[in-house]
C-alpha cells in the first residue's frame, strides 16, 4: 500500500493503512453493497452525472439509502484527486455494520462509505490489440446493478487471464452479453453493434459515449443482440470500460478477428473518443 495515501471512510479522510471496516460490515460478510468508478482526467470528473445516475439506480435497486447529495459526493471526491494526473475515483457503499449476521436487512444501520483515488495505468498493448476468449455467462440476472459482489466476474476474468487473454466475452443462451468488466462492441457488415441494455449487462458509461460519438459522426450503429455465430464473422471486436477505454480485440478463441490487425473503425473511434475527452475536460474547467 502506498504510504500516506489518503482515503475517505465514513466521513473522514485518513491514511489508507489506518482505514478499517468492521468484520460485521455487510459488505465483508455478504458482498451487500454497490460501487462506482469515475475516470478523472487532470482533475475533471468525466461523465460525473452519468455515473451518479447509475449509482442512484444501483442504490434504489438494492434499497440502500443514499447518504449524500450529488454536490456532497463531488465535494468528497475533490480532496483525493491529484489534478496533474489521469486517475479514477473508486467508491463503494455497503448496507452497513449490523450486530449479527442475518440475511434480511438490519434495522437502523448507517451505510458504510469508502472512497479512494488511484492512477489510471494506460493499457500498454492497446495499439496492438488483445486476445479474448468466449465463456459461458454464469452470473446472476441482475447484472445492471453495479454490485461489489463480483465473484462471478472475477472467476471469469481469471479464466481469461489463464488463457493469456485480456478479457472474456460472456455468452448467455448463445448470445453475447458483455465482458467480465467491460461492454462489448462488434463491427458486422460495416455496422457497429452492441447488445441492448438489459438486466444481463451493466450499462457502461463508456458504451454510451461511444454510441453518442457514432451518432454525431454518422457511423452506422445499432443496439441489438449478437449471437455467438455472428460474433465470429465480425471484422472488429472491441471492449469498452472507464479504465481501459476502448480496447481492440485481434484474436478470439485462438482465431484472428478480421485480418488479425487493429481495425480502421477502432482507429477512427479511438481518435474521436480522445477528442471527446479533451473537449469535455476543457469545457468543464
Ligand atoms: C461488468 C461490467 N460491464 C461493463 C463495464 C463498463 O462500464 P463503464 O464504461 O461505466 O466503466 C464494467 C466496468 O467496470 C463492468 O464491470
pLDDT in tens, 89-130: 999 999 999 999 999 999 999 999 999 999 999 887 778 999
Mutate to test the pocket of ligand 1, among 202, 213, 239 (most ligand atoms within 8 A of CB): 202
Q: Give the residue-averaged pLDDT of 247-257.
A: 98
DSSP 162: H
Spatial neighbors of 81 by CB under 8 A, at least 6 apart, are 40, 43, 87, 89, 117
Neighbour tally for 205: CB within 10 Å:
24
Distances (CA, A) of 248 to 26, 123, 251, 262, 276: 38, 11, 9, 6, 18
- Compute the mean pLDDT over every residue in the chain, rounded to the nearest whole number: 97
- Which of 3, 5, 110, 146 is the catalytic position? 146
Q: What is the mean pLDDT of residues 2-11?
A: 89
**Cα–Cα distance list, 226 to 122, 128, 164, 170, 194 (Å):** 29, 25, 24, 11, 7
Check pLDDT > 90 for residue 248: yes
Instruction: Determine the atom of ligand 1 nearest the C-alpha atom of 183.
Output: 4
Q: Examine the pLDDT at 3 and tell me if it is beyond 80.
A: no
Lowest average pLDDT, out of 3-7, 9-13, 69-73, 96-100, goes to: 3-7
Model pLDDT, residue 285: 63
Per-residue pLDDT averaged across 237-253, rounded? 97
HSE, side-chain direction, 13 A CA sphere, residue 15: 6
Q: Tens of pLDDT along 40-76?
A: 999 999 999 999 999 999 999 999 999 999 999 999 9
pLDDT single digits (tens) 122-169? 887 778 999 999 999 999 999 999 999 999 999 999 999 999 999 999
Q: pLDDT exceeding 90 applies to what percent of the chain?
A: 96
Beta strands in the chain (DSSP E): 6-9, 12-15, 33-41, 44-45, 86-94, 112-119, 130-136, 167-172, 175-179, 183-188, 191-194, 221-223, 236-241, 245-252, 255-256
Looking at ligand 1, which atom is closest to the CA of residue 207? 9
5 three-class SS: coil
Closest-lying ligand 1 atom to the alpha carbon of residue 37: 11
Q: What is the C-alpha to C-alpha distance for residues 89 and 77, in angstroms, rounded to an integer?
A: 7
Whole-angstrom Cα distance, residue 37 to residue 89? 6
Q: Atom 14 in ligand 1: which residue has the minimum CA distance?
A: 181
Tell me if residue 218 is catalytic: no
Q: How many residues does the chain have?
A: 285
Atom of ligand 1 nearest to the CA of 146: 16
Q: What spacing in Å lies between the alpha carbon of 260 and ligand 1's midpoint?
A: 25
Percent of the chain at pLDDT exceeding 70: 99
pLDDT band at 2 (very low <50, low <70, confident <90, very high): low
Report how far residue 282's alpha carbon sits from residue 107's, in angstroms, rounded to the nearest whole number: 46
Cα(226) to centroid(ligand 1), Å:
18
| Cβ atoms of residues 77 and 117 within 8 Å | yes
Q: What's the 189 CA to ligand 1 centre distance in angstroms?
A: 26
Q: Measure 107 CA to ligand 1 centroid, in angstroms.
A: 32
What is the pLDDT at residue 178? 99
Nearest-angstrom CA–CA distance, 111 and 114: 10
Q: Tell me which residues have their CB closer than 6 angstroms to ligand 1.
A: 37, 153, 178, 181-183, 202, 204-207, 240-242
Give the chain's count of helices (H) and strands (E): 7, 15
Domains of the chain: 6-119 (3.30.470.10), 126-282 (3.20.10.10)
Q: Residue 271 C-alpha to ligand 1 middle, in angstroms?
A: 21
Kindly provide the b/e burial profile for residues 90-115, where b requires at least 16 CB atoms within 10 angstroms of the residue's own CB: bbbbbbbbbeeeeeeebeebebbbbb
**Ligand 1 site-directed mutation target among 181, 208, 247, most atoms within 8 Å of CB:** 181
Amino acid at each position: 500500500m502506498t504510504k500516506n495515501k489518503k482515503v475517505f471512510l465514513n466521513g473522514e479522510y485518513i491514511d489508507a493503512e489506518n482505514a478499517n471496516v468492521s468484520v460485521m460490515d455487510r459488505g465483508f460478510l455478504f458482498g451487500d453493497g454497490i460501487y462506482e468508478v469515475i475516470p478523472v482526467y487532470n482533475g475533471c470528473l468525466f461523465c460525473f452525472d452519468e455515473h451518479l445516475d447509475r449509482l442512484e439506480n444501483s442504490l434504489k435497486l438494492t434499497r440502500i439509502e443514499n447518504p449524500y447529495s450529488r454536490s456532497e459526493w463531488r465535494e468528497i471526491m475533490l480532496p483525493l484527486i491529484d489534478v496533474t494526473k489521469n486517475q479514477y475515483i473508486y467508491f463503494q457503499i455497503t448496507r452497513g455494520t449490523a450486530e449479527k449476521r442475518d440475511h434480511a436487512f438490519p434495522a437502523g444501520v448507517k451505510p458504510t462509505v469508502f472512497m479512494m483515488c488511484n492512477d489510471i495505468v494506460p493499457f500498454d498493448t492497446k495499439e496492438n490489440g488483445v486476445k479474448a476468449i468466449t465463456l459461458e455467462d454464469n452470473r446472476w440476472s441482475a447484472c445492471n446493478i453495479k454490485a461489489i459482489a463480483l465473484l462471478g466476474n472475477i472467476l471469469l476474468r481469471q479464466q481469461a487471464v489463464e488463457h493469456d487473454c485480456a478479457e472474456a466475452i460472456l455468452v448467455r443462451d448463445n448470445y453475447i452479453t458483455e465482458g467480465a468488466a467491460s461492454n462489448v462492441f462488434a463491427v458486422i457488415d460495416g455496422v457497429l453493434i452492441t447488445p441492448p441494455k438489459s438486466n444481463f449487462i451493466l450499462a457502461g458509461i463508456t458504451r454510451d459515449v461511444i454510441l453518442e460519438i457514432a451518432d454525431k459522426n454518422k457511423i452506422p450503429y445499432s443496439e441489438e443482440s449478437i449471437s455467438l455465430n455472428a460474433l465470429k464473422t465480425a471484422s472488429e471486436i472491441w471492449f469498452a470500460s472507464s479504465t481501459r477505454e476502448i480496447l481492440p480485440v485481434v484474436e478470439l478463441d485462438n482465431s484472428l478477428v478480421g485480418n488479425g490487425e487493429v481495425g480502421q473503425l477502432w482507429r477512427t473511434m479511438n481518435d474521436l473518443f480522445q477528442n471527446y475527452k479533451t473537449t469535455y475536460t476543457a469545457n468543464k474547467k
